[in-house]
Amino acid sequence: MEETKEKRSFRVTGMTCATCARTVERALKKVKGVDFAAVNLATETAFVVLDKGVPQEVLEEAVKNVGYGVSYEREEDLEARRYAEARKNLILAWCITLPLMVFMFIHMAGRHVPGFMWMEIVGGAAVIFIAGRRSINGAWIALTHGHANMDVLILFGSVASWLTAILASSGVNVASFGTIGAMIVALHLTGRFIESHLRDKASKEIKSLLRLQAKEARILRENGDEITIPLEAVKEGDVLLVKPGERIPADGAVESGRTSVDESMISGESLPVSKAEGDAVVGGSLNLTGLIKVRVTKVGEDAFLSQMISLIQEAQGAKIPIQALADRVTNVFVPVVIALALVSGVSWYINAEKWASFLDWAGGFLPWIADVRDPLSLSVFAFVTTVVIACPCALGLATPMALVAGTGAASRAGLIIRNAEAIQTSKDISAIIMDKTGTITEGKPAVVECNLDAESLEAVVAIERKSNHPLAKAISALLDEDLGEPEELEETSGEGIKGRWKGKEYFIGRPSDPKPYFDFLNEGMSVVEVRRDGVILGYISVADSVREDSAGAIARLKEMGITPVMATGDDERTAMAVARRVGIDEVFAGVRPQDKLDIVRRYQAQGRKVMMVGDGANDAAALKGADVGVAIGSGMDLAIDSADVIIAKGGVSKVVDAIVISMRTFSVVKQNLFWAFAYNVIAIPLAMAALLHPAIAEGAMAASSISVVLNSTRVGKS
């Protein structure tokens, strides 16, 4: 059946806080045909699941209708332009604000500065409306579209302060805070500049992956000519010539030559991987030693690197359950803050004389307390400080920044997070159910012994070539010649495969009686029995070596209090032999696909969070049913599509990495949210009580956002 849904992503411009992201998200969700929309403030990216027929222009219009823009500019170009603009505005703001601050302190010391008030009016206007025009524009967009964001707070705080200079110059009895208005914007721009730099640094994993993509490819034509073409022009079936030291342009298979390839960008492993004729290679990996010819198998969006980038970006843009709390708070935060600021301002205007003694007392140990006591000045002071101190930027960045850092750390470790919720769930895993072949073992079995005659072997190889089972691939390699096509094929997962060959029915699979094969099974080998028309012809014993990291990883899982469990379709003796080797105590052998799902549910019924790790089609149901499904990247597409996390290369040790990264990420999320909440809980009452200076408030607000971003970068550090 034709797929009617598709995923799209695009960059949204003009967002400054979590409220902006939520506004765009709601607008996209209202578009007819859109099933899901998520907007990530940290990456400034919208992710949409929608009907294939929905024009992109409709999405763009929805974004523009709420005051924001859509950009398809290359990320590096966009970031460079933004950086240049931010730097220019920052320099302008401080070139004006610093002299104003010097004159303000001279004025506060009791020395008259000629024309100072006019300096405040003109200089403040330049800083607020020219250097800070992006924030002013963001506030205007928000207000005219019926919502409030962080920029609204900056607008109210800075403009209210600046207006006092105009009022004072007009003879109104009010202290001038014009310089404070300029300081608010200058400190805000400084915080945004530093925050932008740190956010860019935290998401560098995506950019590093993009840089891995080759720009050109060397194509071999049928006549032997070599031509160099852009990567975009490479097609499936093309033969590429890749020299030592060059990146492999596209996914494919080695057609001729031998080499070593650095695949650390997908596996996290630094050791080179040997490649020979027939071996698969991944676009973006580095050819180290030999000249090879590669036949292209996947290009564009189907290529591994493109899919990896897409999945990481999707995970970074998704939301985890804990973010719902932050979203609910920030949704009402700005209107509540404005209301509190108004209450504070009105209260001080009415009660200025009554509360003056309180300020005199506080001024004894807080030097920034306003020395003015007239009602209007105190009212403006409290209003401005409350508005500025409460900007919810840190709260909006708390979860997405940690998520960006977590998915980036996972990608460096060779893990692709397909479902962001898995990051929160993985930390609570208490039982891990693992398939044996391809998960605990290498998944590259080799035939050890075969007692079949030539005719039977031909039939077995011909039939097994139609199966994707790892054992089938090992058996298929016993003969090289083309044997023709078998008939009436029927494969039963967990049992084996049967088919007709030259008029006779063959079955290749699980032994009817394992007793004759105990010697093999006790050594950890798998035994495939061959029957023709119901009569046993012989057997094939196959050995699959245990992955080097399996035993150590399972020991670590036990230390973490996690129960490792093996669930395999193999014979019990084989399964137990492998389990003993790696240290697994709980083993389920001879299980079918449905049995694996039942095992998952059995442990879930005990109140445990269960992770399932597998690589085959027979694992797909269990991967879906588990709290977190982890697929080995070398496995079958069905297993990968059913998983929440993909191990690009490696085995059980990567599962440990996934859990550790989950723990770190969630710990950082909780820390970020705690400090963001705590900051506002402490600061807002102080601001309402006129115990904070607006400049200090703005500096503290900027520092809180920067601290959240800096704390998030700890996720990727061991």
Tokens of 506: 């063959």
Exposed, middle or buried, 399 (CB in 10 Å: 0-12/13-18/19+)?
A: buried
Task: Say how far apart CA 583 and CA 552 lie, in whole Å.
Answer: 9
Helix, strand or coil, per DSSP, at residue 46: strand
What would you measure as the largest C-alpha separation in the chain, in angstroms? Answer: 111
451 Cβ contact partners less than 8 Å away, ≥ 6 residues apart: 538, 539
The phi, psi pair for 53, rounded to 5°, reads: -80, -5
According to DSSP, the residues that pair with 447 across neighbouring strands are 542
Task: Say how far apart CA 94 and CA 685 lie, in whole Å.
Answer: 30
The secondary structure of 62-82 as a DSSP string is: HHHHTT-EEE-S-HHHHHHHH
| Closest by Cα among 295, 255, 261, 293 to 275 | 261
According to DSSP, the residues that pair with 275 across neighbouring strands are 259
Type of residue at 28: L
Q: Is residue 160 within 8 Å of 380, Cβ to Cβ?
A: yes
Tokens of 20: 């902006």
Tokens of 300: 């564009």
Tokens of 446: 């080799």
618 Cβ contact partners less than 8 Å away, ≥ 6 residues apart: 493, 494, 569, 592, 593, 596
- DSSP label at 110? T
Strand segments, DSSP code E, in 238-308 are 239-242, 251-256, 259-262, 273-275, 280-281, 286-287, 292-298
Q: Is residue 536 within 8 Å of 530, Cβ to Cβ?
A: yes
| Closest by Cα among 252, 311, 237, 236 to 287 | 252
Tokens of 331: 């949704």
Task: Say how far apart CA 150 and CA 16 lie, in whole Å.
Answer: 7
Q: Which of 435, 549, 619, 657 is catalytic?
A: 435
Q: Is residue 409 within 8 Å of 714, Cβ to Cβ?
A: no
435 is catalytic: yes
| Closest by Cα among 281, 637, 581 to 436 | 581
First to last CA, the chain: 46
The position carrying tokens 């503290």 is 700
Calculate ∠ Cα 287-291-292, nearest 5°: 80
- DSSP label at 672? H
Tokens of 402: 């940690």
Q: Active-site residues: which are they?
A: 435
